[in-house]
Amino acid sequence: MFSVGASPNTAARTSVSSLKKTKQNSRVKSGSRRNVVQTFAKKTPDGPRVCIAGVTGAVGQEFLRVLKQRDFPYSEMKMLASSRSAGKEVEFDGETYTTEELTETSFDNMDIALFSAGGSISKKFGPIAVEKGCYVVDNSSAFRMTEGVPLVIPEVNPEAMADMKIGSGKGGIIANPNCSTIIALMATTAIQRKVGIERMVVSTYQAASGAGAQAMAELEQQTRELVNDGEVKTKEIFPWGYAFNLFSHNAPMMDNGYNEEEMKMVKETKKIWNTDDISICATCIRVPVMRAHAESINLTLKNDLSEEEARKIISEFPGVSLIDDRANNRFPMPSDASDQDDCFVGRIRRDISQKGNKGLELFVCGDQIRKGAAQNAVQVAELLL
């Protein structure tokens, strides 16, 4: 077993896997499966011109933090949101920017547009940006299943966008996968590569951040109300109480009894792994956690894999750290993953309900706004450089 440090936060950062790979500021090179550290300048005349559509939202704000933390090179930065936010000041990298209303001319002379303003905005403005020669990294689900649009987790399938580079004279759309999908595949891709996965059953425990900044504020408000007044009074985002409660994911329900979030996990996994030869089902639940998702994953493998080998290959995967300390009953928690780049995996064990060494159970936590959204998108943008 792997031991972890005394405090939860130390524990989160202490992992066997940290020895063999880079952490903060690591970059994944196209065509490579390992993180490679590179040093980029920040504001630099030959950097790309970057705009952020949805900068005032939970993901948009995280874009700014991630761009800065990863020293993303840029020559110009433009902040875009709805007309409600036009004129709002945004601080980035020591400069003050005025938020502009997103319009058709917003993408003139831009190289990269990071979109996180919802699917309808992406559908309307994504193609306009591309027409103007801009690369769109889209956080919404608008184009994820569109043929020809790469759906990329840089640690998993950078090759899907290998021919997309700034300076090529054309633009394009790259879709950022659904956050629950990203986190699940960070935990399981090493296993898929090594022995193949026949069946994957996922149960998620999803944070408020996945429903946006207002849902996070409502969870905080309801918690205060429950503690101070004994009842939930504010129900603007969800029709039921969220604090001290949990409920089936709020994505629209489909005819087959699964909701859209669950079906995204099924379809997106197949596209990212480029295979139909896998059975997947998911149950997605919203829990009263602020920003990191957790997922319990049950696998049926195509070939035998021991628990020890599984632990080894998962720990070696870039962007993954282990917290798997049975002696102290210490496994990944959302508080470990919040604000962290890595996804944390633990509870790696044989599924005793399956014969031989073909059944595996594991648990993963990842920050929904970070690796589940903004960080993954910025890593994708790095592949464009």
Ligand X SMILES: NC(=O)C1=CN([C@@H]2O[C@H](COP(=O)(O)OP(=O)(O)OC[C@H]3O[C@@H](n4cnc5c(N)ncnc54)[C@H](OP(=O)(O)O)[C@@H]3O)[C@@H](O)[C@H]2O)C=CC1
Ligand Y SMILES: N[C@@H](CC(=O)OP(=O)(O)O)C(=O)O
Which residues of the shown chain bind ligand Y in the complex (CB under 6 A)? 139-141, 178-180, 206, 210-211, 261, 264, 368
Question: Does 140 contact ligand X by CB under 6 A?
Answer: yes
Number of residue whose CB is nearest ligand X: 57
Q: How far is CA 15 from CA 19, 34, 361, in A?
A: 8, 17, 20
DSSP string, 15-31: -GGGGSS--TT-EEPTT
Among 28, 50, 51, 59, binds ligand X (CB under 6 A): 59
Q: How far is CA 345 from CA 211, 215, 232, 270, 313, in A?
A: 24, 26, 34, 21, 12
**C-beta closer to ligand X: residue 362 or 380:** 380
**C-beta closer to ligand X: residue 47 or 210:** 210
Question: Does 366 contact ligand X by CB under 6 A?
Answer: no
Among 127, 133, 196, 212, binds ligand X (CB under 6 A): 212
**C-beta closer to ligand Y: residue 15 or 209:** 209
* Residue 235 phi, psi (nearest 5): -135, 75
Question: Does 64 contact ligand X by CB under 6 A?
Answer: no
**C-beta closer to ligand Y: residue 11 or 333:** 333
Pairwise CA distance, residues 381 & 375, whole Å: 10
Q: Which stretch binds ligand X (CB under 6 A): 41-49, 175-183, 227-235, 290-298?
A: 175-183
90-103 CB burial, b ≥16 within 10 A, e <16: bebeeeebebbebe
Shortest Cβ 365–ligand Y spacing (Å): 13
Question: Does 121 contact ligand X by CB under 6 A?
Answer: yes
Pairwise CA distance, residues 301 & 200, whole Å: 9
**C-beta closer to ligand X: residue 123 or 170:** 123
Shortest Cβ 290–ligand Y spacing (Å): 12
Among 56, 189, 206, 259, binds ligand X (CB under 6 A): 56
**C-beta closer to ligand Y: residue 138 or 324:** 138
Burial class (CB within 10 angstroms; exposed 0-12, middle 13-18, buried 19+) of 227:
exposed
Pairwise CA distance, residues 43 & 178, whole Å: 30
Question: Does 60 contact ligand X by CB under 6 A?
Answer: yes
Among 17, 30, 106, 116, binds ligand X (CB under 6 A): 116
Among 85, 204, 222, 269, binds ligand X (CB under 6 A): 85
Q: Of 181, 183, 176, nearest to 115 (Cα)? A: 176
Contact, 264 vs 176, CB < 8 A?
A: no
Catalytic, 293? Answer: yes
Contact, 177 vs 208, CB < 8 A?
A: no
Q: How far is CA 339 from CA 22, 54, 135, 149, 223, in A?
A: 17, 20, 27, 29, 21
Catalytic, 179? Answer: yes
Pairwise CA distance, residues 90 & 78, whole Å: 10
Q: Total residues at the site for ligand X (CB under 6 A)?
A: 28
SS3 156: coil
Among 118, 127, 196, 241, binds ligand X (CB under 6 A): 118
- The catalytic site residues sit at 179, 293
Q: Which residues bind ligand X (CB under 6 A)?
A: 54-60, 81-82, 84-85, 102, 116-119, 121, 139-140, 176, 178-179, 210, 212-214, 372-373
